Amino acid sequence: MIQETIRITECPRDAMQGLSHFVPTEVKIEYINLLLQVGFDTIDFGSFVSPKAIPQMRDTADVLAKLDLGNTKSKLLAIVANDRGAEDASKHEAITYLGYPFSISESFQQRNANTSITDAFDTVKRINELCRTNNKELLIYLSMGFGNPYGDEWNTGIVQYWAQKMIEEGIGHIALSDTVGIATPEQITAIYPKLTELSDITGFGLHLHSTPDTWQEKVAAAYESGCTRFDAALKGYGGCPMAKDELTGNIATENLIAYLLHQNIDLGLDLDKLAEAMEFSEKVFVKD
């Protein structure tokens, strides 16, 4: 099949943020600098959120100051949860994307950000305007995009409704997120192509979570549905703490790469640097 360029976002922020031990700032810097040399499209490197909410990311600005951006093609993405975080992130010229998690589950929106979906959408509008003013690009994660564990109503119509609302606001990037790892290949195949039909301008990607034995069927369904933007994390670390299965984490980057290479996709990655980063990850994700 004919494919556009495949874009991979490596997500060390997602992988690290739930760790109980604090990863030293210098270790974060060295790890992310290695990832920058691999050649990923984007690095989800940190977040500008309350240190009380996510203690692991309290040093994001310090990490950013020490990143070697002179010899990389990767762009930087930072997660924000409110106006203040967006304002802080926007001050940094090196950041291209601001990522905002927008839940289509009311229960999760309340649990994750202590706000309603309606208020969160107002926040999206304000952050999008801030991005325009500061030459940033806003990426909206439609979290709980394949269902939720709370019994909140979910169907493909709800997914399409919120995607359309984001498109109408001029959002350039949307990632449909399998927050708790419950997406099925059938859902991916049914939902993703319909989303891409909604706009010729907005780019759609997938942020999938999985258990070690379900990643391939999900990636295959996404690829065969025309997905060209994938989020992943080395060795599958991270994922949502709301997931019932402790084995549920991010799609492992090395698995995603192996699958795509098997499809004869030229990813333009430095696989030697990837191997270095995988080896170094042992210093980051030490057992608690």
Token digits of residue 180 = 């708790």
| 2 falls within a domain | no
**Number of structural domains, the chain?**
1
**φ, ψ (nearest 5 deg) of residue 170:** 80, 20
| 14 falls within a domain | yes
The pLDDT assigned to 287 comes to 73
- 143-155, pLDDT tens digit by residue? 999 999 999 999 9
The pLDDT assigned to 1 comes to 40
Average pLDDT over residues 276-284: 97
Taking Cα atoms as reference points, which of 121, 36, 24, 27 lies closest to residue 77? 36
| 200 falls within a domain | yes
pLDDT at residue 189 above 60?
Answer: yes
| 1 falls within a domain | no
pLDDT at residue 49 above 70?
Answer: yes
Q: Is 104 exposed, middle or buried (0-12, 13-18, 19+ CB in 10 A)?
A: buried
| 38 falls within a domain | yes
What percent of the chain lies above the pLDDT cut of 70?
95
What is the chain's Cα-based Rg? 17
Pairing relation of β-strands 7-10 and 173-177? unpaired
pLDDT at residue 218 above 50?
Answer: yes
Query: What DSSP designation does 18 have?
Result: T
| 157 falls within a domain | yes
CATH number at residue 267: 3.20.20.70
Q: Is 91 exposed, middle or buried (0-12, 13-18, 19+ CB in 10 A)?
A: exposed
Q: Residue 244 sits in which domain range?
A: 7-284
Average pLDDT over residues 5-20: 95
| 59 falls within a domain | yes
Residues 120 and 117: their CA atoms lie apart, in Å, by 5
Check: pTM over 0.75? Answer yes or no.
Answer: yes
pLDDT at residue 194 above 60?
Answer: yes
Residues 5 and 215: their CA atoms lie apart, in Å, by 21
Per-residue confidence at 2, pLDDT binned at 50, 70, 90?
A: very low
